[in-house]
Structure 1
Amino acid sequence: MPKQIHIRLDDRIHLSLLEYSRVTGKTIQDCITDALVQSFDDKYREKRRGTAKFTFIDLFAGIGGMRLAFEANGGQCVFSCEWDRYCQKTYFDNFGVMPYGDIRKIYEKDIPNHDILVAGFPCQPFSIAGVSKKNSLGRATGFLDKTQGTLFFEVVRILNEKRPRAFLLENVKNLKSHDKGRTWKIIMESLEKLDYEVFTDILDGQMFVPQHRERVFIVGFDRKRYGNDVTFDFNLQKPKNEPVLSNILEKRVDRKYTLSDHLWKYLQEYATKQKAKGNGFGYGLVDKKGITRTLSARYYKDGSEILIPQEGENPRRLTPRECARLQGYSDEYAITVSDTQAYKQFGNSVVVPLVTAVANMIVEKMEDMKEIDIRRENIG
């Protein structure tokens, strides 16, 4: 539950706060909360000052998987945003920074300048009602109109205001077919109209972790800085050793993760019924020498998509730490929430080493184009 505090402000600060609230459209409470969050962020950045190769912001941050990836490549995070309070706790416990809350309440001009925007935005359908109405009235529609009301709009308005050198967006594979392909079309059109050179690919996390996990990655570079001749590909270097599930399993596991007789019987009967109907739905009993299905946020319910066989007893779920490893998090990463929340968080997370590899290619490309960037800045 949110906690309440009472503070005293002198007249000068109060008047300034009222004016800022009016300009940004935020409540006084939100303004004060943002100021406190900013103070935490400033303290963290002070420790890293002067050591970073580039700066980035972390939108729809979750538990910081993208942040870990870009920090591993020498970046400094100057702003983060995540609305889920349990994810905020995990983020704070691992990075010492409290992310801002609702991105829709963030005034884009307040976001620090940065080199790379990073976001794993949720997938939503786009409404054409507003655009149709404007067309019927003979009014022009801009690229912001088509995305208004969606969370992707928040990414667009920040890109439009801050114009970072590059961006990385990540989403589920089905984003490309979502809403009969219309969502993808609008996203590509919006990024194109922002004047970014855009590259996309679907990458599978099993190159780096023992999990089949396909995600779409969207990378963009600012044409106003780098011109129209930017090239980029997702040619990842495959690790020498293929990931194997047995390498991430804990040696001693609490019996609470073993399925009860009731649940195990239910899953078996359900799978039998589905098979009889010609469906492939059912539990996933994995081969320890292989890889798993995709870990999902619903894993906390019954763990059915990834079950570990146990000799002489019912199979078991993965532990939260094993889920963290399955997503490429190191054992130094702190898990400070309940099992239920941890399963949700890791199920929604990115494969950290995969994003680290993509981030490395983005940073290297920016380094390659540094002279073009400097030349254009001098001309400007």
Structure 2
Amino acid sequence: MIPISDELTLLEQVLESYDLKYIAEHLNQVSPGRWTRELLKRWVGAKEELRLSEAEFNHLQTLIPEAPHRKNHDFDFIDLFAGIGGIRKGFEEAGGRCVFTSEWNPYAVRTYKANHYSDPLNHKFNSDIREVTLSAKPDVTEAEAYRFIEANVPDHDVLLAGFPCQPFSIAGVSKKNSLGRKHGFECDTQGTLFFDVARIIAAKRPVAFVLENVKNLKSHDKGNTFRVIMKALDELGYWVADADSSSNEDYKIIDGRHFVPQHRERIVLVGFRKDLNVHEGFSLKDVANLYPKVKPTLGDILEKEVQPNYILTPKLWQYLFNYSIKHKAKGNGFGYGLVKAHEVTRTLSARYYKDGSEILIDRGFDPKLDLEHKKNLENRPRRLTPRECARLMGYDAPGEYGFRIPVSDTQAYKQFGNSVVVPVFAAVAKLMKDRIISAKILAAQQPRDRNRFVA
């Protein structure tokens, strides 16, 4: 007989990602008709003692991510602003081990925990990164903040962060000068979430980092945001790959279309500690050598049949169609993105749940016929399903269903729209791996100055 404590522990773990209705449906696959949401609710509230059969217990365990089959790992990393773990997935494929995760969105956390193993001995989970960096507490000194980070963030070799893009302000510099405080990155980036990333880099001194953001980071706030970030990283003692790439050919900007059938440009900042001198010759230009020889087509990732609710209603289709015509007449580029099975889609966005307009799957629309024609009404386009979004982002291969989606369609669309193309970061990790390992060995040979940035 399985101990009741083990059953309750398992249920608590499962509830971190799945609701009671889903769990009941899952258990009923083993014991049809036995389980209901209300029954599980009474169990969770300790109002009724229930016991799982061995088959039910084992079936429930399948909802928990398995530990990696690989016994050894080559390097440790932390995953900040983790979303649903796309960058983590790429670095795990290269032999990395995640030791710390930070993500504040509760729905993203559910999906993350449903798919990524959290070693109870070697992994910490954090919600608000500011609770670790103490950046929300203005009276905390820099020395106190660094000591707190040192105690609460595990040592790691690589820092990963898909931080939000925010403008910087120089307000307050003169006041801090008068107080005799630093006005480098601690001042220039304060009030933004990049500041929290910089504080952790300063305190923990990883051998490398990968920062991801939208392509427009370079032009955000008339270029000031990017200039401040690059200045801060240099001040922290890091070399950034392809820092001087021209605007016409910037290797830091990688398009996901080289790996999946989606046009998705993102800026990737790869940095190595200057003092370790492992960066010479590294360039993201070489990611091109890792493009797949055969990449999946849109047709490869599509389901053969979908539920009717993914097909646009006649009213919505007519609205999008007329909206596009109106803006084309004004010379604007706004409109829906109708794609066929052999084409590349536009960028999937977090707003996809609203109407799906940027990526609509063509089901036989005939532009030669009137929109009201019976054929065009019957063959109205459809949205991608969340499962197809998982494949379009590289979480699943064509035809696979391995990535768990424990949230509503609305939340799933937001999560995939905010995420990264996984194979892009698998390629970046593969490109970095040998240098990370070399840098890790070199760093271990020298004591880390834990007070380097503490006044």
1:356 — aligned with what?
426
Residue 133 of structure 1 and its aligned partner are, at CA, apart by: 3.8
Stretches of structure 1 lacking an aligned partner (at least 5 in a row): 1-42
Match of 1:318 among 377, 384, 396: 384
Among 164, 179, 184, the alignment partner of 1:122 is 164
Question: Does 2:272 correspond to 1:221?
Answer: yes
Residues 55-134 of structure 1: matches in 2 within 5 Å? 55-97=76-118, 99-106=125-132, 107-109=148-150, 110-134=152-176
Once structures 1 and 2 are overlaid, which stretch shifts more, 64-73 or 45-54?
A: 45-54
User: What's the CA shift string for 1:255-294, capped at 9, x where partnerless?
Assistant: 1000001000000111011011100100000121011000
- What does 1:159-238 correspond to in 2, within 5 Å? 159-200=201-242, 201-224=252-275, 226-227=276-277, 230-234=280-284, 235-236=286-287, 237-238=290-291
Shift of 1:135: 5.1
Verify the 8 A CA contact 2:91 2:429 in the aligned structure 1. yes
Does the CA contact (< 8 Å) of 2:75 and 2:437 recur in 1?
A: no
Root-mean-square deviation (CA, aligned residues, Å) is 2.4
What is the aligned partner in structure 2 of residue 19 from structure 1?
Answer: none
Partner of 2:293: 240
| Residues 100 and 371 (structure 1), Cα distance of their counterparts in 2 relative to 1, 3 Å cut | closer
In structure 2, the residue matched to 1:299 is: 352
Q: Residues 112 and 49 of structure 1: is their aligned pair in 2 closer, same or farther, counting only changes over 3 Å?
A: farther
Counterparts in 2 of 1:15-34, with a 5 A limit?
none
> Does structure 2 retain, via aligned residues, the 8 Å contact 1:221–1:230?
no
Task: Determine if contact 1:91/1:99 at 8 Å carries over to the other structure.
Answer: no
* Distance apart, 1:182 and its partner CA: 0.1
State the aligned residue count. 335
Q: Does 1:285 align with 2:338?
A: yes
Over residues 127-175 of structure 1, what are the superposed CA-to-partner deviations in whole Å (9 max), with x where a residue is unaligned?
A: 1111244457886523211011100001000000000111000000000
**Conserved in 2, the CA contact under 8 Å of 1:309 and 1:315?**
yes
- For residue 125 of structure 2, give the secondary structure of its aligned residue in structure 1: coil
**Distance (Å, rounded) in 2 between the aligned partners of 1:78 and 1:347:** 25
TM-score calculated relative to the size of structure 2: 0.70
Distance 1:78 1:218, change over 3 A: same
Q: Using the alignment, how far apart are the partners of 1:242 and 1:291 within structure 2?
A: 11
Q: Which structure 2 segments of 5+ residues have no match?
A: 1-63, 119-123, 133-147, 243-251, 365-377, 449-455
Letter in 2 for 1:218: L
Identity over the aligned pairs, expressed in percent?
Answer: 56
Please, what TM-score do these two structures have when normalized by structure 1?
0.83
2:278, 2:439 within 8 Å by CA — same for their partners in 1?
A: no
Question: Residue 8 of structure 1 aligns with which residue?
Answer: none
Q: Which amino acid aligns with 2:404?
A: A
SS class of match (2:72): coil
CA distance in structure 2 between the aligned counterparts of 1:119 and 1:138, rounded to whole angstroms: 31
Cα pair distance change 1:316/1:232, threshold 3 Å: same
Which moved further from structure 2: 181-190 or 227-236?
A: 227-236
2:278–2:435 CA contact under 8 A, matched in 1 = no
Q: Which has the higher helix share?
A: 1
**DSSP-derived class of the 1:310 partner:** coil
The answer as to whether partners of 2:210 and 2:271 remain within 8 angstroms in 1 is yes
